[in-house]
Amino acid sequence: MVKQVSVFLENKLGRLSEVTDLLKQHDIDISAISLADTTNFGILRMIVSNPQDVAKIIKEGGFTVSITDVLALKVCDKPGGLADVLKILRDKNISVEYLYSFVKQTSGEALILVKVSDPQDAIETLKASNIKLLTEEEVYSL
């Protein structure tokens, strides 16, 4: 599993910029990023190396931060590649809470981050189906 940093942002002008400025000041590179919004707030999700340190920096900057475990998968980068993996999870009654892709590319494979209802069962299920799961070290080295 990979540690994801989640930041809760009020829907106010400049809040996202403030977080990214903090990261820039500390020379932190973002490997993957997602932003979802509601009426009053947004959730910024990021994969960064040293997530514990990054969470501390962001928290000290005045933001609410949490760290969540997500799975990092390699999926065949072709029509239906993601659908095939999601069917494997569905068939084992494992819910996908959200997912997003990496910004980095590898040859012929899409890199997907997935938050699931039962991570341990998902890991066993995906490995049994020969789906490549990336380690934290592999993700941070991309």
Q: State mean pLDDT over 9-20.
A: 92
Q: State mean pLDDT over 46-71.
A: 95
Per DSSP, which regions of the chain are E strands? 2-10, 30-37, 41-48, 64-76, 96-101, 109-116
pLDDT, one tens digit per residue, over 76-122 is 888 999 999 999 999 999 999 999 987 555 667 888 899 999 999 99
Please report the pLDDT score of residue 110 as a whole number.
82
pTM: 0.87
Whether residue 114 contacts residue 96, with contact meaning beta carbons closer than 8 Å, is answered with yes
